[in-house]
Structure 1
């Protein structure tokens, strides 16, 4: 961030704070007390607090807000939470979650940069939360390291999902939805009081979807699914003791296909003509349509379930809370043809198997009651363990041997292998990792005065990892995956992280804060196949050397911010100026065939986050958020070189992937009562925008992987019946049918297919994932 940008950002914070202080003294301009403050209660600091009282850069969205913005899954969340990014690759298990431009694809053994929590329970793999947001009460996106209070260290931020709790009354809701591309969806919940102090809540969802992508080669639609999600919760309130038990199950079943079109500008006209002549007319090259043209072998079964217990004991104002959980996620996807051509070359079967359990003991003191109101605190003990298995099988297609194996005895043997085995499991990878993590943490607030508070927090984490790696490969696939087998060297490390914050509240409606916090991700193991082998083993099977280890990643985050409310909370304005310095950034390099994790020297992410909301009456509100992000590698001397070029390159001064300079959203909500009928008409619209950014899976600053800026417009019109007993709604997503690029990948085996000639930009064959096309829907909801 340049000095001019820095001055303007600091000035903006000062203006907001000064204006809010002055506005607090003014009388409200609201008429008839109709002002609405739009506040949401969050639990970012383990207490139920207004989002305006939490000295953290946080986006909090209610379940109703998610519905109004047509946010169905975590992949839509970035459209309402600037500086939060989510994208899936060709494999659903490799979903990437990022905050402030930093994240990790989930199909590796890398710890996630963004920790996900469901009702306070850590979910270790982001690929396991692709199911719909079922009966969600609120979503909190916590930007910046959250290591001192959350169960698993969240190095750049956290995503906290909260499901609705059982209530002491009989109630329920059921809704049905029909949308574009034959999407049918039904969901609902019922709340049942079992006794005077025990209640149960059951929620469920089922969805059927044909998918938006038409494949010209076989005349079928792809991208569809058949999904089921269930959740059951029992809550017992026994005076000073509350016990909540939850169970959930989600199954995603479909083809798992994402549309990766071929970018015609990424090769010369002569090479494009060659592709079309040699490969059955070639892949689809229109990046603006819903058409693909490729051989497809597909199938997806993703199952995710868990049970959790949360027991809270009131100790005369303090709370002792115990959280226990067990979660299982399995993902089995046949992903092919992974070359994306209209001939049968190779498919991939990917397997994910995660079994984890969390145990956390929390102590929460009464707020502002100890030492004459001068001190309160939160402390805890935490244990986490996960067994995580990754599997990959490459299957040879009917055209593989004739195209990728030289003529002669080798091709003959390859063709015989395919004929006898169907090409199945030409390579077979099996990776296992066990992680055990123990932590002790505490955070205290020292109330220096009624207006000034010093917050100090610390966390000591100890991580232990062990695992094995096995890669088998046929004679025809040694150029793709080298045979390798080893037991990973054990990893045993610990780290202390901390947070210090000074918070000043000159009035009840103004909070000024300055934070310094640190984050940490432990080192780990490379799980990708390599050629040649990434490890050297002697004749006795002893490990001589390996490139399968990478080191820890650490984060130091600096923030100054203001949370303000004006005119009796008709207007809220929150701003945070931040800088994150990341050392040992765990980056994925690409060698043309496989990915290898290695540590970059240093990455700096800094910028400004601004959130505004104006609600002059219950009938109208407008809100907007904008994030400015300045991303720069300050030390990255061994980055991936451009495709086809040997060695590495220096990326100092270049941005990280998925780090747009600008992103944000604007939402307008308007409603009116219809006479004396008791009915109400509501109109909602949401505009999301982002500037250009690198969206490749590799940090190499190749301009071909830079996606242009785009904006997405969504809208919703709904009619509520008397007392809100029923609602009918019409909604649209991507209303202007904007073509956009959420992800790009290099053409698999581009070198072997003769598609990369090291002329940049213009000849590094590129595949571009198509963004979701325009879609409409109608829904009806009945409440009782």
Structure 2
């Protein structure tokens, strides 16, 4: 458990600095839109136009690609180590990656809309599981905290993640990097800029990685968790006077076993039940939560492919800009995930299939800054169209020992064995789900400059969502207790919603911005894609639908913020702090009903706290940045929450926190560099410490004390030697340098009730699985630039 006395003291000091008198900054010059002076300040596009991050009245964590490289952030799963109040986690299935901001997120292996909208080069990506390989040749990353429902759409209800790739330069240049790391990891990456004409240039980037994986399986002696990955992107940019046109194409393929190690928590069952498991199931699963071993039957494989094309054309007319964005994306994920019981015997495997085809079309209008009403008004506006066909599939396959170990002796076991002999146990339960989403929207946001220092921002977005689809589940007699047969055409959904933003911004000095915001967001109604037993839908004798629990209602968010962004001490010190409250009504909770997961509206949730970002550069060669977030999570009403395992019925979680909502989180980064005599060479050192306090990390929202994970801190470091003119560099780096063991995710033991594992510690307890944390890793890299 992290002790927070030091954190609280640091917070008091930082808050005092943040609220320091404005006189410290009175003499500083104003920020230009493209200014990059001052540590930690970069240009962002959070309001659809390029602006200094210090001039945008939104809580933002923004990073350049070079910053992410120094911090060893290589995938979206690492981003939380530098972006406070941002968490990502993946389950045993890569398609179920969860992205959360301010403690709210959605697992992606359902039809539920994401709470955090993801954009890659301005294009909305509807499924968060599809971006695990997108950190190739990154130019910048922006984490926008709080609802972004006006400019980014309906599915930015608690925030947005915007990833921008590097653009071509009109010169012949490039770099190639080779890496080697722990657990037989090898990586080759690079890019090249090619001028095609005087005003057209291209950039080609690629990456290949070969990784054996860190987990050793005692049962078969093999290593797991590895993958052979490749990723490519091509970008062409043309400048034709008033017209800029950027065309991109990308392709990513992940080819591995897809295994994530979930160890059995021996504390979650009684000694007698643990002894029973070990005696009945080939010694039982691995129970050491702090090693790199597993002990289970594995039958797995993963092929994940993601590709897309996009076009962004910007036409400048009379100082205004018209921007047209068109795109098409395709993501397929085929994962054999077995044995999903995680025991050292062959019981049950699962093949999961995801297929998303989406297209985005957006027309934006961006006026010149302060160009209208005598320099008192500017605006952005747009029209948006989105369409996605999304198919999910699941095949459950009986293992060779399913019948003998999980079916009672007698006629039932004899019938099960005969069924297995005839079919091999394959496709004992088959699920097919399809959904089409069509969304159209119109939005606008304007800045009214009441005085030279006071600005009123008003924005609104009208959105219409239409959804349709179908559900089909076929199940054998031996799997109907967990997968009931069901066939249903979803009742159509046609919903419209208006979301808005109000902001009042005041600049008492050129380097200080005070702001208050009120913004709203929403996620549309939808369908449960999970199986139910009994069926979630009921039909009359004529076969007509009588009722269905497959439909859940929309979720709405109201957000209130007050913040300060400031620079002083000759722009060497930057402090941004935002206080916020998010009230979420109709919270869409993915709950466990005993045998399966279903989405339902939970009631009301309040997430409130503050985010503090501090950066200091006392000299040209030394800088320190720090972030800290406090989060108070509480259900203001949740009367019908899922009960603890085996108890049945519901429980009242009013006053309890949401999952993945730590009270404290943050990070500290130190950058130090220097020259090596007069050789023209230089060195650079970077260290990053991130921390998260205690939090519930289960996939079920029931506040089971067995899923309350201790807080932890992770330390990473990188040391680099640069050649003359930065033509080459050599780096050594480490992740989780202290080899800290922590618990990213907890899941209930599959088939826990059938295995007699419920209520063996206290009423409502059950066997628990803990996802193994990433072990300490080392690496070395060599880069050549030309």
Pairwise TM-score range, normalised by the shorter structure: over 0.9
1:731-759 Cα deviation digits (max 9, x unpaired):
00000000000000000000000111264
- Indicate how the Cα distance of structure 1 residues 10 and 734 shifts in structure 2: closer, same or farther if over 3 A, else same: closer
Following superposition, the deviation at residue 540 of structure 1 comes to 2.7
Rounded Cα–Cα distance in structure 1 between residues aligned with 2:50 and 2:693 = 36
Q: Which residue of 2 aligns with 1:395?
A: 397
Rounded Cα–Cα distance in structure 2 between residues aligned with 1:549 and 1:347 = 28
Rounded Cα–Cα distance in structure 1 between residues aligned with 2:532 and 2:723 = 61
1:228-277 Cα deviation digits (max 9, x unpaired):
00000001100000111000000001000000000000000111111100
Cα contact 1:376–1:444 (8 A) shared by 2: yes
1:19-60 Cα deviation digits (max 9, x unpaired):
2512114799xxxxx985331111001111111111000000
Q: Which residue of 1 aligns with 2:202?
A: 200
Rounded Cα–Cα distance in structure 2 between residues aligned with 1:647 and 1:216 = 40
Unaligned stretches of 5+ residues in structure 2: 1-7, 30-35
Aligned positions of 1:249-288 closer than 5 A: 249-288=251-290
Unaligned stretches of 5+ residues in structure 1: 1-6, 29-33
Q: Which residue of 1 aligns with 2:521?
A: 519
Using structure 1 for the length normalisation, give the TM-score. Answer: 0.97
Q: Which residue of 1 aligns with 2:672?
A: 670
Q: Which residue of 2 aligns with 1:769?
A: 771
Match of 2:167, SS state, is coil
1:581-620 Cα deviation digits (max 9, x unpaired):
0000000111232101100110000001000011111210
Q: Which residue of 2 aligns with 1:43?
A: 45
Cα contact 2:231–2:252 (8 A) shared by 1: yes
Q: Which residue of 1 aligns with 2:99?
A: 97
Following superposition, the deviation at residue 10 of structure 1 comes to 12
- Indicate how the Cα distance of structure 1 residues 36 and 721 shifts in structure 2: closer, same or farther if over 3 A, else same: farther
Q: Which residue of 2 aligns with 1:186?
A: 188
Rounded Cα–Cα distance in structure 2 between residues aligned with 1:759 and 1:278 = 20
Cα contact 1:471–1:485 (8 A) shared by 2: yes
Match of 2:156, SS state, is coil
1:381 aligns with 2:383: yes
Deviation beyond 6 Å, 4+ runs, structure 1: 7-14
Cα contact 2:512–2:567 (8 A) shared by 1: yes
Cα contact 2:18–2:576 (8 A) shared by 1: no
1:308-338 Cα deviation digits (max 9, x unpaired):
0001100111000000000000000000100
Q: Quick check: 14-23 or 289-298, which moved more? A: 14-23
Q: Which residue of the other structure, out of 311, 314, 338, is the alignment partner of 2:313?
A: 311
Q: Which residue of 1 aligns with 2:32?
A: none
Rounded Cα–Cα distance in structure 2 between residues aligned with 1:699 and 1:410 = 35
Following superposition, the deviation at residue 93 of structure 1 comes to 0.1
1:385-418 Cα deviation digits (max 9, x unpaired):
0000000010000110011111122211211222
Q: Which residue of 2 aligns with 1:465?
A: 467
Aligned positions of 1:685-724 closer than 5 A: 685-724=687-726
Cα contact 1:35–1:618 (8 A) shared by 2: no
Q: Quick check: 72-81 or 754-763, which moved more? A: 754-763
Aligned positions of 1:391-540 closer than 5 A: 391-540=393-542
1:340-397 Cα deviation digits (max 9, x unpaired):
0000000000000000000000000000111111000000000000000000010000
Match of 2:300, SS state, is strand
Cα contact 1:739–1:773 (8 A) shared by 2: yes
1:356 aligns with 2:358: yes
Q: Which residue of 1 aligns with 2:24?
A: 23
Aligned positions of 1:130-209 closer than 5 A: 130-209=132-211
Q: Which residue of 2 aligns with 1:239?
A: 241
Cα contact 2:154–2:522 (8 A) shared by 1: no
Cα contact 1:644–1:758 (8 A) shared by 2: no
Rounded Cα–Cα distance in structure 1 between residues aligned with 2:299 and 2:196 = 49
- Indicate how the Cα distance of structure 1 residues 432 and 9 shifts in structure 2: closer, same or farther if over 3 A, else same: farther
Rounded Cα–Cα distance in structure 2 between residues aligned with 1:659 and 1:668 = 27
Following superposition, the deviation at residue 191 of structure 1 comes to 0.4
1:170-202 Cα deviation digits (max 9, x unpaired):
110110000000000000000001000000000
Rounded Cα–Cα distance in structure 2 between residues aligned with 1:180 and 1:97 = 27
Rounded Cα–Cα distance in structure 2 between residues aligned with 1:708 and 1:8 = 21
Q: Which residue of 1 aligns with 2:79?
A: 77
Rounded Cα–Cα distance in structure 2 between residues aligned with 1:478 and 1:307 = 43
Following superposition, the deviation at residue 14 of structure 1 comes to 7.9
- Indicate how the Cα distance of structure 1 residues 591 and 152 shifts in structure 2: closer, same or farther if over 3 A, else same: closer
| Cα RMSD after superposing both structures | 1.7
Cα contact 1:645–1:758 (8 A) shared by 2: no
Rounded Cα–Cα distance in structure 2 between residues aligned with 1:128 and 1:181 = 25
Rounded Cα–Cα distance in structure 2 between residues aligned with 1:200 and 1:647 = 60
- Indicate how the Cα distance of structure 1 residues 740 and 18 shifts in structure 2: closer, same or farther if over 3 A, else same: closer
Q: Which residue of 1 aligns with 2:565?
A: 563
- Indicate how the Cα distance of structure 1 residues 455 and 425 shifts in structure 2: closer, same or farther if over 3 A, else same: same
| Number of matched pairs | 773
Following superposition, the deviation at residue 579 of structure 1 comes to 0.2
